[in-house]
Amino acid sequence: MPKLYYFWGAHMKFSQMVYRRPDLNEMGREFERAVMNLKDARKLSQAVEAVKLVNKLRNNFHSALSLAYIRYCMNTRDEFYAKERNFYDEALPHVEALQFNFYESLLESNFKEELEKIFGSQLFNIAMMIVKTFKPEILEDLEKENKLSTSYTTLVSSAQIDFDGRKLTLSQLKAYELSPDRSTRKRACEARYEFFTKNQSQLDELYDQLVKVRDEMARKLGFESFVPLAYLRLKRSDYTPEDVAKLRKAVQTKVVPLIQKLRERQRTVLGLDKLKYYDRPILLKEGNPKPVGSRTELVEAANIMYEEMSDATGEFFNFMLENELMDLVSREGKYPGGFCDFIADYRSPFIFANFNGTSHDVDVLTHEAGHAFQVYRSRNFEVPEYYWPTAEACEIHSMGMEFLAWPWMELFYKDRATEARLVHAWDALNFIAYGVSIDEFQHAVYQNPNLTPQERRKLWREIEAKYMPEIDYDGNRYLESGGFWQQQMHVYESPFYYIDYVIAQFCAVQLLRRSLEDRASTLQSYTKLCDLGGSLSFKQLLKAVNIDPPFSESAIESVGEWLYELVDSQINKLKSSS
């Protein structure tokens, strides 16, 4: 197990954290000196000190990057941080080049075996993957990729939707899309896709350029397509695209039929002749439960929950509150997504979200708190690679925390807590079909990078029909022509990430199942998983806490059927009590 070190600096509120743009020339000189010391080390102690200096330099740079990125997302119209975001779009590839040199030197060190014992084998596992993802020839391509991704972020953040006399962001509009009134949610959905229709040509062009630059990078690195490069960039060391294809196939044969049964139940519960696309998120005729209370009251409820959940979660959440490490309010110019970041020099996670008055608020708060709790627990690793595990493991922390919060849903939903748990479980099952659709779409696109925008939209419709055959777009031309995927920011910004949510969902449901039988021991396993951070590979992490990886048909079938039966039985209970 890698050694730990501890940060003894004073805690600092987010508003007091000082941002300074890194001096890349000075950092480069220090970095190169440290790498040279690693190469030339004649004693183990010299090699260890060189690695520690590299880690310090990386923490300094990424802390500045995180501060700039968070503050840019808080207000994408802020000219100062917009310029800083542009700076990092250009700077990051050059820092990746420095890190590439470090990884190469680490793997070639005369003290490799000793360093592996000190810092852990997963660092060397990661280094072996990352050295395959970079050559100086792709520096300009990486800069272009970053700038195109930022252009997408800026575009969707700029949305100002005129609706019922208000100007709304995409996040704020979501509340109307979940209205119990069918005509309201239809109008809200139409307003959303009117924005995407107006910007479709720009969205097509951005994605076209992203696909082509990623394909070009892959070929310069010696890959036949971007797919294997993407897997290496995501540090997937113990499963392959073939494993993921098996997962998708098992979802199609074992899970999609269960979802279709529930869709029919949903239709009858809502009393509709046919489900339309704007009905899909609504399970209950009176509307899905909404949390009760203001943003402040929901945070206070979360504080009570985490203090009661365990000493560890209580300590963590109070740290977040005391140091202003959450931005939850939706507003004009704010990035529409939700995420958790980590500011290494301050040993501080940060939760970013857009509350909109729906169940999304509770889901995103607990989801991002799961990420934040994990990195809080593993923040004292000496190796930056271990602050976070690989993405699919990260999403177990987040989705697992959503489920571990179930006993406290009364704090958020009052007398509709049972319904809230039902809708959450129902959403978890339905999401799986959409998640594998996004993944199959990306595999097909990057294996055929010269598809036209029209061909990509046709491809999406074919994949939708495979996993979500019940979708009825009610004549919406943008959606019927295959544009739905363009609102999924991961497709543009984080290619191939999205399947990680599906993989994690199968793992998180196993935690839910165990927690309903023995909450205390499940929470202990969950906390252990968080404590391990990224010090092990994905399957090694699962083995450490006895979770089955979802790459076999039997594992997928078992989880899918259990979740289906849970949802079906809860619908029956609500029906009999009404």
Give pLDDT, residue 11.
Answer: 75
Q: Which amino acid is at 347?
A: R
DSSP character at residue 416: G
Is the Cβ–Cβ distance between 557 and 251 less than 8 Å?
no
Of the candidates 413, 430, 425, 434, the residue with the CA atom closest to the CA atom of residue 513: 425
Q: Is the pTM of this model over 0.75?
A: yes
Does residue 168 sit in helix, strand or coil? strand
Angle at 64 between CA 155 and CA 158, to 5 degrees: 10
Full DSSP string of 239-303: --HHHHHHHHHHIIIIIHHHHHHHHHHHHHHHT-SS--TTTTT--STT------S-HHHHHHHHH
Give pLDDT, residue 575.
Answer: 76
DSSP character at residue 470: T
Angle at 300 between CA 295 and CA 303, to 5 degrees: 130
Give pLDDT, residue 578.
Answer: 63
DSSP character at residue 4: B
Kindly give, in sequence order, each residue whose CB lies less than 8 Å from that of residue 496, ignoring residues fewer than 6 positions away.
227, 230, 231, 234, 439, 442
**pLDDT tens digits along 344-396:** 999 999 999 999 888 999 999 999 999 999 999 999 999 999 999 999 999 99
How many Cβ atoms sit within 10 Å of the Cβ of residue 377?
Answer: 22
DSSP character at residue 551: T
Full DSSP string of 471-533: ---TT-HHHHTT-GGGG-HHHHHSTT-THHHHHHHHHHHHHHHHHHH-HHHHHHHHHHHHHHT
Percent of the chain at pLDDT > 90 equals 94
Provide the residue ranges of all domains of the chain, joining segments of one domain with +: 14-137
Is the Cβ–Cβ distance between 27 and 146 less than 8 Å?
no
Angle at 525 between CA 520 and CA 529, to 5 degrees: 145
How many Cβ atoms sit within 10 Å of the Cβ of residue 548?
Answer: 16
Ranges of beta strands (E only) in 307-367 are 326-329, 339-343, 348-355
Rounded CA-CA distance 138/149 in Å is 16
What is the four-CA torsion angle of 316, 320, 322, 325, rounded to 10 degrees? 160
Give the chain's end-to-end CA distance (angstroms, integer).
Answer: 54
Name the pairing type of β-strands 166-168 and 339-343. Answer: unpaired
The low-confidence residues of the chain, meaning pLDDT below 70, are 1-10, 578
3-state secondary structure 291-321: CCCCHHHHHHHHHHHHHHHCHHHHHHHHHHH
> Residue 329: beta bridge partners?
355
DSSP character at residue 17: P
Angle at 47 between CA 43 and CA 48, to 5 degrees: 110
